[in-house]
Every structure is written in structure tokens, then in C-alpha cells.
Amino acid sequence: MANNNQISGKPKTLKVLASNIINSIRNNQGESLSDIVLELQQLSEAPEQVVDTMVEFIITYQNRKSYSPEEMKNRIYRQCAVFSKHKLYELKARATLLLGSHYLATYKHFAESLRELIAVELIAQKHLGNNNMILCEALFTKGSIYLFQGNYEESTKAIEQAQSLGIFSTASHELQFKSHVNLARNFSLTQNVEKMKFHLEKAEQSYVHYQSVYDKAALYIRRADLLKYEQDWEGAFQALIEGLNFYKSTQFKLRVTEFLMEIGNLLSSEDYPQKSFDSSMQYFEQALEISRELKIERLEAKIVQDIWKTAYANKEWKLCAEKLIEFNNILENINQEELAIHIKKLEQFEREEQLKLLSVGKPSYNIDMIDEVVKLREENESLKKKNTNFQKILAELDSVVGKLSNTSKVRQSTVEELVNITRKSKRDISTLDAYLADCEELHPGFSRTMVTLIPSITQMQMKVAKLIRIGLNTQSIASVCGVTIKSIENHRMNLRKKGKLNQEQSLAAYIMALK
């Protein structure tokens, strides 16, 4: 009888089984992984550590939804160390890609997800070659991150780069469908109708073989987008209603929410012939209720934003004011959560540094790390103060709305007063423009001083300098600017060079001392 570890007389090796693990994840969502575990356990001559780690990785994949980001990171980093030691680079890249995807699924750890995907690219370039399917998958996932961040240009670039690889022609129907449908979305948002139509047709061809219930939503929504461009408004509405009814009979509440949002936006569009403020609000409110059940704050923020924009366009001032304040508060909660996550990471890193220093008999503190934790806590307190300010603004709005309700004819001056207050509340949203405006307001001569000291300073370097001037650290600047931490570190390094600072001089201290 042939040995179970043999196929056509050839014994299976660790590398063959590693490829089988990757193919199982890629082609059938890991359905055959349990069989591979048995095959691994029957390998008699393989290093025990490698076999155990491969089995552990399979378990990690099978239970991935139950792990927190930190637990997943610890597991994957431990496994990748073994894969790297034994030159199982493809499996290391696949494990790193799994971690990046896990971060992305939280809708909070975009920077961490991007970091891991860049690591996959580096592994591929160094050990696997550029025409590799894992690199293709990593580039597509990278495009998804940029899509979530609203950076459609970078999203399109990453997905097109994935499609440009020769191996893309052999990609799974799932990857082909998702890449084409995401490009269709990007080109819809940038109003490139011809390219949108091309990629939508490609996505529909792939879906014939893919047939995922969850991902079918994209076809309904992209078809509706195309019909809107063709001025077929009734057809667009019917496509969205068809999608909504399809998902109401499934367990996918997130998809139901998306269709309710799309219909609400369509009914409130200036171009829609049967535009109806009341009907659009009904759909938006249903979407908002489900988003709160799902506890996806970024989705809730998007719906609230759509409501206040629609209310503003229809001069529904009270609703506009209420939702604007609600939007700001949700954003503040998101910022505080992300800040708390980062503080926790820094504190954990500090504890690890203390243990390392103690183990070699050195002082158990790290000045730079302590300073950064202190700054982050100061930022946290600043956010809490902003919440108090929002409550004050709400009180002012209530006062003005009271004036409106006590008069049959709204005076222009009263309306202007309300608009000014809403603008004041917008001003407190933690956006890049708001932070830059803060710097201009607090330090009016700063830009002139920077240009005088560093004539060759670029626009992006000036933004980074301004954000440093008002007290933001590298992590916060990266988050506000929507780029990677590494990118901000590069800008800081260039600022140091142009400012001719030596190793002992702190860039932050140098900038903070300027007027």
C-alpha cells in the first residue's frame, strides 16, 4: 500500500504542503486544511518545530474571526519567524497577508494593515519574484485600504498594478470579480464612465463563475451607477430596490444598510426627477438604525453625514444642526478609540523595553517613549475638551432654532446666525484642513519663518511642520494626512536634513521653538 504522504510515488515535502495550504485558502476558503493537518502530522523526518508551526498557522486561519488584532499579530509574527528561518517564504507572505486582511476587517487599523501589505510586497520582491499570486492578492487588498480611505487614485493604481501581473490571468474568479468591480466603483466616483462600463462588464463575466451571495451587492450598485450616468433614473432606482429586496432575505445586514444608504442618496439627488426629502430620510433612518446594531462607527458616521448634507441642501436647519453635532461626536469617539489603541501599543512596547533593559542591568525607562505616551494622553484630553465645546454649540443651536420656531417668517439674519454656528461646529472636526488652520491661527508667522529658514521646503513638508508645531506626533500626523507612518518619518528626516539638525537635536523641539 502506498504511503499517505506520497502522490505518484513522490513523497510530500514541507514546501509542497505549504503550497497546498496556500492553495486551499485561495481556492476553497480552507476547506481542505484539516486533511493537510493530518498529512503534516504523518511527516516523520520533518523538523518538529516547523510542522507544529504550520499546524498552528492552519488553526490561526480557521479561527481568525475570534482573535483580536493584537492576538492575531502575536500569533502571525511568531509563525513568520519560523517560516523565515526554514525559508518557507511563500507561506510567510501568505501569513503576513492574512494579518493585513485581519487589520483591514476591523475598519480601524488601516495603517497597520498597510504596513503588513508592504511587508508582503518586500517578501515577494526578495524571495518570490514579482509575478507571484500572493503579491497580486496583496496589491488588491492594498487597493481596498485606499478605497476605504477615499483615496481613489491610489486605490486604482494598486488594483491596476495587480491586474498588470502576468499571473493575474490565472487568478481565482473571486479575485478577478472583486478587482474589476472595485475598479468600476473607482471610475464611477471619478466619473470615467467608459472605464467604469468596461470593468463592470468584466466583473459580470467573472461573477458567472464566482456566484458569491455577499458580493453580488456590488453588481446591483454599479449597475445603478451606470444607469444614473445614462439618465435612466427609474432603472437605477429599480436596480437598488431589487438589491435591497434580495439582501433582506439574507443574514447580511451590512448589505441591507448599504442599499438603504444608496436609495436615500438617490432620492435626495438634485438630478432625480422624483426627488423626495421625506422619502430619502426614511431610508437613511433605517440605515442608521441597522448601522448602530452592527456597531460600525465609520458606517454610522457616513450615514449621519449624508443626512445632515441632505438636510442642509433642503434648508432643514434643525435636523442639519442636530446631525452635524452628532457627526462630530461620532468622529470624536472614533479618534479617541484609535488613540487609545495606539497608547496601549506604546505602553506595551515600553514594558517590553523595560524588561530588555532590566535584563542587561540598565535603567528601566525610555525617555522618548515616555514623552510620546505623555503627548498622546494630552491629545486625548484635548479631544475631551472638544466634546465639551460641541455641547456648548448644541445649546447655541437650540437657542437659535427656538427663535425660528417663534416666528412665521424667518429673518435672513437669523438664518445666517444659524449657518455661522454650524460652520463653527465644522471648524472643530479633526481634519487636515482644520489642523492647518489651527496652526495659522495660533502661529500666524510660522509659514514665513519656515520658508525663510528652509527655502526648499516642499508643500507636504510644510504641512508636516505645521502639524508638529501644534503638537501632533508621527502616528497622529500619518492618520490625519491619510498616509503611512513611514511616509511621515521620511518627511521628518528630510526636514532634519534641510534644517541642518545634528543627531542630538530634536526636530519637534526645533519646530516648537519657532514663531
- Three-class DSSP category at 434: helix
* SS3 category, 494: helix
User: Among residues 327, 339, 268, which one has the least CA distance to residue 302?
Assistant: 327
Domain 1-170: give its CATH architecture. Alpha Horseshoe (1.25)
Give the H or E element holding residue 129: none
Residue with cell 454610522: 300
Q: State the pLDDT at residue 28.
A: 80
Indicate the helix (H) or strand (E) that contains 398: helix 367-405
Q: pLDDT at position 5, please?
A: 44
pLDDT tens-digit profile, the chain (515 residues)? 334 444 344 457 888 999 999 999 988 888 889 999 999 888 878 889 999 999 999 999 999 999 999 999 999 999 999 999 999 999 999 999 999 999 998 877 888 999 999 999 999 989 998 888 999 999 999 999 998 888 889 999 999 999 999 999 999 899 999 999 999 999 998 999 999 999 999 999 999 999 999 999 999 999 999 999 999 999 999 999 999 999 999 999 999 999 999 999 999 999 999 999 999 999 999 999 999 999 888 889 999 999 999 999 999 988 988 888 888 888 888 777 766 666 666 666 666 666 665 665 555 445 555 555 555 556 655 655 555 566 556 566 656 656 665 665 555 566 566 656 555 554 444 467 777 777 877 888 888 888 888 888 888 898 899 988 888 888 878 877 877 888 888 889 889 888 888 877 888 888 888 87
Q: What are the residues facing 7 on neighbouring strands?
A: 10
The answer to whether 289 and 305 are in contact (CB under 8 A) is no
All three cell numbers of 323, joined, read 446631525
Can you give the residue ranges of every domain in the chain? 1-170, 213-314, 326-428, 440-512
Counting beta carbons within 10 angstroms of the beta carbon of residue 52, is it exposed (0 to 12), middle (13 to 18) or buried (19 or more)? Answer: middle
- Please tell me the predicted confidence (pLDDT) of residue 410: 56
Q: How far apart are the first and last CA of the chain?
A: 84
Query: Residue 60's closest CA among 79, 85, 82, 81?
Result: 79
All three cell numbers of 175: 479575485
DSSP 8-class letter at 513: T
CATH number listed for the domain at residues 440-512? 1.10.10.10
CA–CA gap between residue 186 and residue 188 (Å, rounded): 5
What residue type is 294 in one-letter code? Answer: L
DSSP for 212-232? -TGGGHHHHHHHHHHHHHTT-
Cβ atoms of 234 and 253 within 8 Å: the answer is no
Please state, in angstroms and rounded to a whole number, the distance separating the CA atoms of residues 258 and 291: 9
Tell me which CATH homologous superfamily contains domain 213-314. Answer: Tetratricopeptide repeat domain (1.25.40.10)
- Do domains 1-170 and 440-512 share one topology? The answer is no
The pLDDT score that the predictor gives to residue 342 is 63
Q: What is the DSSP string of 74-120?
A: HHHHHHHHHHHHTT-HHHHHHHHHHHHHHHHTTTS-HHHHHHHHHHH
Segment holding 483, helix H or strand E: none
Q: Does the predicted TM-score (pTM) go above 0.85?
A: no
Q: Are the beta carbons of 308 and 331 closer than 8 angstroms?
A: no
